[in-house]
Amino acid sequence: MRMSTTLFVYIARQFLFAVLGVFATLLAIIFLFDVIELMRRASGKEQVTILVILQMATFKLPKMEAEVMPFAMLFGSMFAFWRLTRSNELVVARAAGISVWQFLLPGLSIAAAIGIIQVGLFSPIASVLLAKFERMEGLFFRGQVSALSVSSTGLWLRQGDSNGQAVIHATRMDQATNELQNVVVFLYQGADKFAGRLDAAAGRLGNGVWHLERVNVSLPDQPTSFAATYELPTDLTLERIQDSFASPDTMSFWDLRGFISTLEKAGFSAHRHRLHFHAQLAVPLLLCAMVLIAATFSLRPTRRGGTAYMVLGGVIAGFLLFFISDIVFALGLSATIPAILAAWTPAGVSSMLGAAMLLHLEDG
């Protein structure tokens, strides 16, 4: 029997309200804990006011939305299906000839739509706000002044201390030798007073110093001089340079592919960004998997005490999925397994397990 449009819309509305309710509750709890944690970190820092803390917590909230949504989908689906089962609406629908797969279609449609909207629309917004959060965190809590920018013209690196700043440009960097090619260094006293320029054929990052080779030194009001080698003090390390890259979470989904290409041309590894890109692509499938898993716990009539077992089963399933996803993602970050496999495995395996469990319970 074909499901009527009226029944489809009714189930979809029940499902959507339940998911959004759980989602809003989880976000409110996370926001409260973030505010408390930021207040703890801000103790003793007079420049960090309560308004700054609230602003930072708000900027971070959209990023947490992506992490919370799979759990909201799981528990919201369980609640919606449990309520329809308890009111015997599922029993009536089954008696009318509607299969469990038809009954799940509204929920799966909502899950896929939410996943597409989350990746295509909310991800760019969340990336902008998270970038603002990280800049404020660096300013107020870490005091970082170095930054790295990669573009089609090469890479730009800024370092600074109490004596002044240096802006370094290079066409590319060889990570095997930590060597920059075609280096230009702009030296400044304080924030904006020009102090000189260095043009080097190559530069290598050492322990607390940049070793520049074949350098033309240009100082204000002085003729250009040549030096075979030149040492520029620095507090940077390769790890700090790599950490200065824009986090994949701070980049719009639509900009990731172009940034990956630019990063690789500059001589850096884009494995972390490629992994994040495919993880974003897998979000709609992951949310649909949550609906399938929720259905295995909540679409069957519950006896006395069955609700507690349903909730416990859902919590255990959510915890196992989160634990396994973290392990697979860590393997992907370490390049132990391919990025595509690491990104798609949690969603793919969860979908297959959920479908198999439903086939066994309903059609087996």
Q: For residue 260, is it within any domain? A: no
- What was the pLDDT predicted at 295? 85
Residues near 135 by Cβ (< 8 Å), separated by ≥ 6? none
Q: For residue 294, is it within any domain? A: yes
* Same domain for 138 and 12: yes
- What was the pLDDT predicted at 22? 93
- What was the pLDDT predicted at 284? 93
Query: Could you tell me the end-to-end alpha-carbon distance of the chain, in angstroms, rounded to an integer?
Result: 20
Q: Transcribe 21-38 into DSSP letters.
A: HHHHHHHHHHHHHHHHHH
Averaged over successive runs of 10 residues, the pLDDT of the chain (364 residues) comes to 81 92 93 91 82 90 87 90 82 78 89 93 87 80 58 71 78 72 85 84 84 89 87 75 65 80 67 86 92 81 59 76 83 83 88 84 61
Domain ends where: 211, 243, 275? 243
Q: For residue 162, is it within any domain? A: yes
Q: Transcribe 335-352 into DSSP letters.
A: TSS-HHHHHHHHHHHHHH
Tokens representing 73 are: 């989908």
* Same domain for 198 and 334: no
Q: For residue 219, is it within any domain? A: yes
- What was the pLDDT predicted at 245? 59
Q: What's 208's DSSP letter?
A: S
The Cα 78–Cα 209 span in angstroms is 58
Please give the residue range of the domain that contains residue 276: 5-142+266-363
* Same domain for 158 and 87: no
Q: For residue 256, is it within any domain? A: no
| Burial (Cβ within 10 Å: 0-12, 13-18, ≥19) of residue 288 | buried
- What was the pLDDT predicted at 307? 61
* Same domain for 165 and 128: no
* Same domain for 130 and 272: yes
The Cα 31–Cα 54 span in angstroms is 9
Domain ends where: 209, 243, 277? 243
* Same domain for 224 and 164: yes
Q: For residue 78, is it within any domain? A: yes
Number of independent structural domains in the chain: 2
Q: For residue 258, is it within any domain? A: no
CB 231 within 8 A of CB 217: no
- What was the pLDDT predicted at 19? 94
* Same domain for 216 and 151: yes
Q: Transcribe 194-205 into DSSP letters.
A: EEEEEEEEEEEE
Can you tell me whether residue 39 is helix, strand or coil?
Answer: helix
Q: For residue 158, is it within any domain? A: yes
* CA atoms 344, 346, 349, 352: torsion sign: negative
Task: Report phi then psi at 229, rounded to 5.
Answer: -135, 155
* Same domain for 16 and 112: yes
* Same domain for 11 and 129: yes
* Same domain for 28 and 127: yes
Greatest alpha-carbon span in the chain = 93
* Same domain for 11 and 121: yes
Beta bridge partners of 190: none
- What was the pLDDT predicted at 357? 81
* Same domain for 190 and 129: no
